[in-house]
């Protein structure tokens, strides 16, 4: 929402990926992200889901004309 206010003509793509794949990648590659407990898949999934829910709500708030959710797995399977 903040960026949409700062850049009123902007458009956004919200890339959504299966949280299980994201968390597996984060933990396997030992990617340090503030607030993520890399010793617990469950806690990482909960944190990731909360982040995605917030971003999705912000995307909806900005509106369809300015924010488009794209599902990573669908894009990878059907790029056209």
pLDDT digits (tens, 9 = 90+) for 5-39: 999 999 999 999 999 999 999 999 999 999 899 99
Distance CA 40, CA 80 (A): 37
Per the structure, the complete domain to which residue 16 belongs is given by 2-77
- Note whether 59 and 69 are within 8 A (CB): yes
CA dist 2 → 5, 26, 57, 62, 71 (Å)? 5, 27, 13, 10, 23
Residue 80 has pLDDT above 90, yes or no: no
pLDDT mean over 32-52: 94
pLDDT of residue 1: 87
**Number of domains making up the chain:** 1
């Amino acid at each position: 929402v903040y960026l949409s206010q700062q850049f009123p003509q902007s458009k956004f793509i919200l890339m959504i990926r299966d949280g299980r794949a994201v968390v597996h990648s984060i933990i396997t590659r030992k990617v340090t992200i503030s607030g993520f407990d890399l010793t617990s898949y469950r806690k990482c999934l909960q944190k990731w889901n909360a982040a995605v829910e917030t971003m999705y709500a912000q995307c909806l708030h900005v509106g369809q004309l300015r924010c488009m959710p794209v599902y990573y797995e669908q894009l990878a399977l059907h790029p056209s």
